[in-house]
Amino acid sequence: MSELNQRALLRGVPLSVHLDVTYRCNERCEHCYLDHDGDGEMDTAEIKTLLDQLAASGVFFLTISGGEPLIRPDCFEIIEHARKLRFNVKFKTNAVLIREKQAKRLRELNVEQVQISVYSHRAEVHDGISKVPGSLKRTIAGIRLLKSHGLKVTIANVLMKGNLEDAEGVRLLAAEVGAHYTLDPTITPMMNGDTSLLRLRISSESLRTVFQNAHLVGNVDDFCAPPPPVDEDALEGYPCSAGHTACYVSPRGEVYPCVQFPISCGNVREQEFSDIWQHSPQLLEVRSIRGKDLSTCSSCNHLGTCTRCPGLAYMEGNMRGPSTADCEKSFVRTGIVSAGMLARDHSSAPPGLIQIRPFAA
Amino acid sequence: MNEIYVARSNAVAARELGGEMMIMSATDSTLFSLNETATVIWQAADGKTSLSEIVELRICHEYSVDPEVAYRDAEDLVEELARLGILLLSDQPVRDAQPEVMQ
């Protein structure tokens, strides 16, 4: 797969696209970074045209997500069109609306994988986070239906203060239903810049416990090993695939480097996708950044191994700067203080979050 | 010689990248890469055109190769791709083969 990524990178091909077909949702998860406004959504024809353009640009991996995509009456028409274009389709849903008919159709369409968020194995905790009584029961019923039709299911567990004790319970639930399990302790600000969700992030001490759990991280010694010396590859490398071989398209047609990187690069209602991908000044800027160009991180011991998210850094005010959450992860994982943490110690200015910016042609 | 008709499987994802076809099986997520000539056969595998026609029109015509050798190689290739679930083989035209919408 890394060879495929490398090939795509060399040719400037957007290998992966995450497409949210709606922001509307039938749950109100307390950590969700999206609004739930359906205004301005692309219609069926617009999305089909976009999919045609994505295929022509070389996109291979397509994630269809939301909001809750099954809220759209044309959801299966969209997936069917995507599969006719031979995308590898990953489908993200809360599975509350999955019944026999939907599970069967997803299988018939050869959807590669269905990813479903489960916050706890206990209804009072999961439903407390989703704000929908009975949602865990319906989600698990949906997962079982998908599995009964032979679909690959991943249970994604977002870890936050409210469900901290339940990671093991969700992992066991995933094993019981035959689903793959992933855990993510990342809580991001809302796309409009609102940081109030960050109160839900787990503490450093809790994060340390997670990083010491072999069930969750694999080999703990390897995972928590001190970073190797920073080498040329790290200095000349780029931070992640955002804007290089991947991007995000919102339900309103806005193109961003990533779902967690809210700098608008253009709108597919005004320009062809390929034009945005190849010529957007914002994408060109993102693509130009190498490890050596990072204002603080270029001198950090963690440069080669940090999970630094340029989108979170951007939301803190500088896409070339550190991301506080990732500085913390590197520190908690290895016990070695990051350059970003040292810089913050010497600065009294709090990081200012900027809001999503309209695209300026 | 019995004719062979080849059709692309609906169960795979596929995209051309740098002249080679990348194909991923939905059943086991294995990723395959077809070289240039194998890509030509994949693209021509509409279920209606026989393998001998594909070899004659798309391979021999383009690559000036001995027809018998080309057909034998193509036959080996499609049998291997069928075994991997990427192509469907039939001794008669395949009615419901999915057209190639975009590559």
Residue B86 maps to a domain: yes
Residue B13 maps to a domain: no
φ, ψ of residue A92 in degrees (nearest 5)? -110, 125
pLDDT above 90 (res B101): no
Tell me the per-residue pLDDT of A33-82, one tens digit each, with 9 for 90 and over: 988 888 899 999 999 999 999 999 999 999 999 999 999 999 999 999 99
Tell me the per-residue pLDDT of A115-152, one tens digit each, with 9 for 90 and over: 999 999 999 999 999 999 999 999 999 999 999 999 99
Residue B57 maps to a domain: yes
Residues 17-76 of B with CB under 8 A from A: 17-18, 22, 24, 26, 29, 31
Q: What per-residue confidence (pLDDT) applies to A269?
A: 98
Residue B67 maps to a domain: yes
**Nearest-5° angle of CA A317, CA A264, CA A21?**
125
Contacts of B15 in chain A (CB under 8 A): 55, 58-60, 86-87
Q: What per-residue confidence (pLDDT) applies to A35?
A: 86
Minimum mean pLDDT range among A192-206, A245-259, A302-316, A335-349: A335-349
The minimal CB distance from A58 to the residues B12, B17, B29 is found for B17
Q: State which residues form the domain around B84.
A: 36-90
Residue B54 maps to a domain: yes
**How close is the nearest chain B Cα to the Cα of A176, in Å?**
21
Q: What per-residue confidence (pLDDT) applies to A347?
A: 66
**Number of CB pairs, chain A paired with chain B, less than 8 A apart:** 51
Name the pLDDT band for A357 (thresholds 50, 70, 90): very low
Tell me the per-residue pLDDT of A240-279, one tens digit each, with 9 for 90 and over: 899 999 999 999 999 999 999 999 999 999 999 999 999 9
Minimum mean pLDDT range among A36-40, A158-162, A347-351: A347-351
Structure tokens at B21: 């076809």
Minimum mean pLDDT range among A220-224, A302-306, A342-346: A342-346
Structure tokens at A114: 């269905």
Total number of domains in chain B: 1
Residue B44 maps to a domain: yes
Q: Is A39 exposed, middle or buried (0-12, 13-18, 19+ CB in 10 A)?
A: exposed
**Mean pLDDT over all residues of chain A?**
92
Under an 8 Å CB criterion, which residues of A touch B? Answer: 1, 4, 7-8, 11, 13, 52, 55-56, 58-60, 83-89, 110-112, 152
Q: Is A316 exposed, middle or buried (0-12, 13-18, 19+ CB in 10 A)?
A: buried
- Return the residue in A79, A88, A113, A151 with the most chain B beta carbons within 10 A, the one to mutate for interface testing: A88
Tell me the per-residue pLDDT of B8-43, one tens digit each, with 9 for 90 and over: 998 999 999 988 899 998 777 889 999 988 999 999
The minimal CB distance from B10 to the residues A1, A88, A110 is found for A110
Minimum mean pLDDT range among A254-268, A340-354, B65-79: A340-354
Task: Kindly list the distances between the CA atom of residue A63 and the CA atoms of A54, A187, A263, B5, B16, in Å, as whole numbers in the listed order.
Answer: 12, 20, 20, 33, 19
Residue B58 maps to a domain: yes
Residue B56 maps to a domain: yes
